[in-house]
Amino acid sequence: MMPQLRVDLNNQESFSSLRSRRAFHNWYDREDMEDGEFCRALYDIECLEKDYNEVISQNNQQILNEKNDEL
């Protein structure tokens, strides 16, 4: 049985908050990072959270099925 993991799903909110305040933006400017890359990063975070939730849901369903089979 896989251990249950807890992930802080406030990543998107934190990212958006930092981006709206342009926090640490000067660091990225020095590395020639474009503003569009922030949008892509936010999209990537959303996709990762969606994938994670799907995996957890499937895992939980599998555990429930195994418990039902044992009964």
4 belongs to a structural domain = no
In a domain, 3, yes or no: no
Model confidence over 3-54: pLDDT tens digits?
Answer: 444 555 566 677 777 777 777 777 777 888 787 887 788 788 889 888 998 9
Residue 55 belongs to some domain of the structure: yes
Residue 44 and residue 54: Cα distance in Å, rounded?
Answer: 15
CA–CA distances in Å: residue 61 to residues 3, 29, 53, 64: 14, 45, 12, 5
Give Cα 19 to chain centroid, integer Å: 16
pTM of the model as a whole: 0.56
Which uninterrupted H or E stretch holds 11? helix 11-20
CA–CA–CA angle 42, 48, 50 (5° rounding): 105
Q: Which domain holds residue 54?
A: 11-70
The tally of domains found in the chain comes to 1
Is residue 5 a part of any domain in this protein?
no
Distance CA 48, CA 41 (A): 10
Residue 53 belongs to a domain: yes
CATH number of the domain at 23, please: 1.10.287.600
